[in-house]
Amino acid sequence: MHIFTAIKVNFSTLIGGMLFALAIGYGIGYFLRKMFTEYQIKEAEARRQKIIAEAEKEVESRIKSAEIEAREKSLVVKAELEKEMKSKRDSLSDQEKNLEQKGRELRNESAKFESREKEIESQFAKLNVDNKEIEQQKTEYKRLVEEELRNLEVIGSYTAEKAREEIKNKVINEAKMDAAREVKKIEEKVKSQADDEARKLITMAVQRLASDHVAETTVAVVELPSDDIKGRIIGREGRNIRALEQATGIDLIIDDTPGAVVLSGFDPIRRQVARRALEHLTLDGRIHPGRIEDVVTKCKKEVTEEIQKAGEQAVLNVGIDNVHPEMVKLLGRLKYRTSYTQNVLEHVQEVAFVCGAIAVELGLNENMAKRAGLLHDIGKAIDHQTDGTHTSLGVDIAKRYGEHPFVLNAIAAHHEDCEAESPYAVLVAAGDTISASRPGARREMLETYVKRMTQLEDIGDSFKGVQKTFAIQSGREVRIIVTPSGTDDQSANILARDVAKRIEKEVTYPGEIKVTVVRESRFTEFAR
């Protein structure tokens, strides 16, 4: 019994202990669970704060990137707008300049018109005054005639008819004397104004023909094997063409012209060096600045040797001696100089031959005549490098190297710049004219020649009574065939003068043009 009671007490104690332990375990578990839950909440809160912070940073970064991108786009748009505005401003500025230029031209033209109008008004006023004076003179002449008639009828035995005839002759003689005096005054005025008019005509001719002349005398064309070589001539960033232009002193024009490069420069020897160098380079195929310099140096040496040989050959051909070596070189330079497409070296040799032949016929010194003829254009070897005419430069060169005074005077006088002091000067002037006038010596551009010939014939055909007009002798003479029935001798003379005046006004030409009017009547009968 006691045992069961003890067991019962122990069991109750055990159960109470177990319950107590469970209560303590539950309390500890609850506490631990609460602490763990709070830790998780804190950790979750920290993660949330971190995520929020990272999200804010990302948002801020994206906002900054968007701002930078927007700023860059705005800068690009702004730059494009500024470029477009600059282009428009430049265009407006150019237009404004053009308008200002046109305004100045219009003002100048207006001033010219006003000046011309004033001149015309002045001339009209002068004509009115002259007409009044003429009317007064006519009235005075009538009065004098009537008075003279009355006096003669009263005093003498003249009839009215004889008196009228005598007075008429007297008035005619006085009119002829007045006309002669006026003609003399006009001739003197024309002579005084001739130089000014000549300068105007020369200036106009230079203005109209300078571009064609420059194009013919300052440009050379080099044929290329293919258009592909043009890019190699230019080189990377244009270094080859710059090197070639710098080495030769000649401008290279590379355009759309197929298979050709244009060389432009006033110095004919430099153009020849550039032509040779470019031909060597295109054939060789190796084109670079170092190679260009070597080839140009070689070509300069070759051209110098050719100049020396050409001068020596010219002296040998003419048959003179004791010519200074420097003058021989200058003669050789004339090989690359042209005058109206005539080679000057060939021209001076022709002049020397002509002068020598004429000198032999006249009994003069043949060697002196040939020497003067050969050296008369020596100044053209340097006239593009030195100020002065080729005659004055030629005289200076010949004087420097001890040439004879007759030679000096022949050089100075062959264009009538001074008086001829010896027969050799006259011979050189004649030989120069003969060589230049030789058929085929001096050629013109075909288009210019045909245009002038057509213009001359059109001018002649435009007059009434003309059957046909012929421009002959390369435009130096115009021959006009007129209808004999509708034109008399006086009308033919007037027609020739009118055509000549029209040609002077409308056509630009060297020298003079002869106008001949042909009026022919043919009558044919047969004797049977």
Average pLDDT over residues 448-453: 74
Q: Which of 372, 454, 446, 443 is nearest to 406 (CA)?
A: 372
* SS3 of residue 261 by DSSP: strand
Report in angstroms the alpha-carbon separations of 374 from 54, 315, 318, 367, 379.
102, 8, 8, 10, 12
* pLDDT tens-place string over residues 144-184: 777 766 765 555 555 666 666 776 677 666 665 666 566 66
Please give the average per-residue pLDDT across 456-470, as a whole number: 88
* Res 438: pLDDT: 62
pLDDT of 214 higher than 50: no
Residue 211: pLDDT band by 50, 70, 90 thresholds?
very low
pLDDT of residue 184: 63
**106-120, 310-324, 445-459, range with greatest mean pLDDT:** 310-324
Mean pLDDT of 267-285: 82
Q: Is the pLDDT of residue 217 over 60?
A: no
User: Residues 80-108: pLDDT tens digits?
Assistant: 888 888 888 888 888 888 888 887 887 88
Instruction: Report the distance separating Cα 145 and Cα 148, nearest Å.
Output: 5
CA distance linking residue 479 with residue 441, whole number of Å: 24
- The angle that helices 344-362 and 325-333 make with each other, rounded to 10 degrees, is 120
Strand blocks (E) in 280-375: 338-339, 342-343
Q: What pLDDT is stored for residue 413 in this prediction?
A: 86
Q: Kindly report the average pLDDT of the chain as a whole number.
A: 78
pTM of the model: 0.46
pLDDT in tens, 8-40: 557 778 887 788 888 887 778 778 888 888 888
pLDDT tens track for 498-512 = 898 888 888 876 667
Q: Model confidence over 39-65: pLDDT tens digits?
A: 888 888 888 888 888 888 888 888 888
Q: How far apart are CA 336 and CA 400, in angstroms?
A: 23
> Tens digit of pLDDT for each residue in 220-258?
777 777 767 777 777 787 887 788 888 888 887 777 767
Measured CA to CA, the distance from residue 320 to residue 376 in angstroms comes to 14
Q: Which residue has the higher pLDDT, 262 or 328?
A: 328
C-beta atoms surrounding 31 within 10 Å: 10
Q: Compute the distance between CA of residue 98 and CA of residue 113 in angstroms, rounded to an integer.
A: 22
Q: Which residues does residue 503 pair with via DSSP β-bridges, in sequence order?
A: none
Residue 513 reports pLDDT greater than 60: yes
How far the first Cα of the chain sits from its last, in Å, is 209
Q: Map residue 400 onto helix, strand or coil.
A: helix
Report the distance separating Cα 457 and Cα 478, nearest Å.
Answer: 8
